[in-house]
Amino acid sequence: MNKADGVANSAPPKTILVRAPNWIGDQVLAFPFFYFLRKAYPKAKITAVCVPWVADLQFKSLVDEVIELRRPRPGAGFMEKFKDLDRQSKEIGSRGGFDLGISLPNSFSSAWLLHRAGARTRRGYRFEGRGILLNSGVELPDESFGIHHRAQAYLDLLPEPVRVKREAREFWGVHPENVLDEVIPGELAEFDANRYWPAKRLVPPKDLYWVLAPGATADSRRWPIDYFIALARLIADATNLSGVIVGGPKEAPLAERLCQFEELRLVDYTAQGPVAGLVDLFRGAEFTVTNESGLAHVAAFSGSFTQIICGAADPRRTKPTGPGLVQVSLNSVDCWPCEKNVCSQALDSQIKCLKGIKPETVWEEIRRGLRKISR
């Protein structure tokens, strides 16, 4: 046992504080971590602390309490934000001591929260000069022998002796190819995301349908809308499926533009509730098409066959973990994967890695995936 792990050399922790990821996709990728944390410490009180936009995606059956961090006031400066974080951290600590604290984000502020909340053992990656705040810090993974998937990076923050050991491997290949197939054997047949994300659910269409999630956080991850229109036309011409467009308020204008073409048989479901409410919609779809975005992870977690159109991201790090089949369409130009939100190589406002992914190719990949599922 490693003394630096702290927990391994003492009684099992009775109270655990987890600073959850800040982004939808990362939160979904943290599912194996939360699953094995609860499995290792079934009697512990686990508290998850998160930002508001991922609150409804906390795994309610795996944690005992969810604390939402308050949003900073609009226009707040750095010092005001930091002081507010410090106050909130101490408020969290005043609820009772924490035997173990684990920071999934690599930010200084998340380590500061564990420290000021009074977690006795504080784990996280030594990054951004925050090692002094983590008395059980973990070195960043050595990627000289392969890129470390984020889901595995989270698992590696579990303390000894409960850490989940798995050989690093490429997240590609034939189905079954997803992380959940491997880390939770025998449970996928009964896996239901609604068990972990209780929410008011959107009612799926009565007829057969597919789902389109055209949004993304950055231009470098967003397929041109004209390509989505061309893909929807190919699907409409080849099938009797209707298409359901999902996303938040920012995607509503995209949906409006897409739905103006009646022959595409698209229906607008954007901005109709929390992300967790999309589970049944994704699960009932014949397939889902998304950019490399948080909704790609939600779709795969819900069990949908998910076709991802990947721009600047590196799927070796962030490919959804399933249990739905996941396929990735990409165009590996010389500068790919840059993993940047702003492309420095954009040509006529068209990003090369995305522009090179053609609708006809994506539709053919979807058809191959459907054949794979049918077998």
DSSP 106: -
Domain ranges in the chain?
3-166, 193-374
Helix, strand or coil, per DSSP, at residue 266 = strand
Assess contact for 331 and 266: CB atoms under 8 A. Answer: no
Report pLDDT for 218. 65
- State yes or no: cis peptide before 253, omega within 30 of 0: no
The residues facing 289 across adjacent strands are 212, 307
| Cα torsion angle, 140, 179, 103, 10, sign | negative
Instruction: Give the CATH fold of the 3-166 domain.
Output: Rossmann fold (3.40.50)
- Per-block mean pLDDT, blocks of 10 residues, the chain (375 long): 50 94 94 90 95 94 94 84 90 90 95 95 90 90 75 87 47 38 49 83 91 82 88 94 94 92 94 91 95 93 92 80 86 61 57 80 93 81
Per-residue tokens: 91: 């408020």
CA dist 58 and 54 (Å) reads 7
Query: Where do we find the tokens 């109709």?
Result: 272
Q: Which amino acid is at 141?
A: P
Query: Where do we find the tokens 């034939």?
Result: 174
The pTM for the full model equals 0.87
Q: Is there a shared CATH topology between the 3-166 domain and the 193-374 domain?
A: yes
CA dihedral 358, 364, 366, 369 (to 10 degrees): -140
Helix, strand, coil % in the chain, rounded to nearest 5: 40, 15, 45
Region for 222 from its dihedrals, namely left if φ exceeds 0, alpha if ψ lies in -120 to 50, beta otherwise: beta
Give, in words, the CATH class of 193-374. alpha beta
Report pLDDT for 170. 32
CA dist 304 and 284 (Å) reads 7
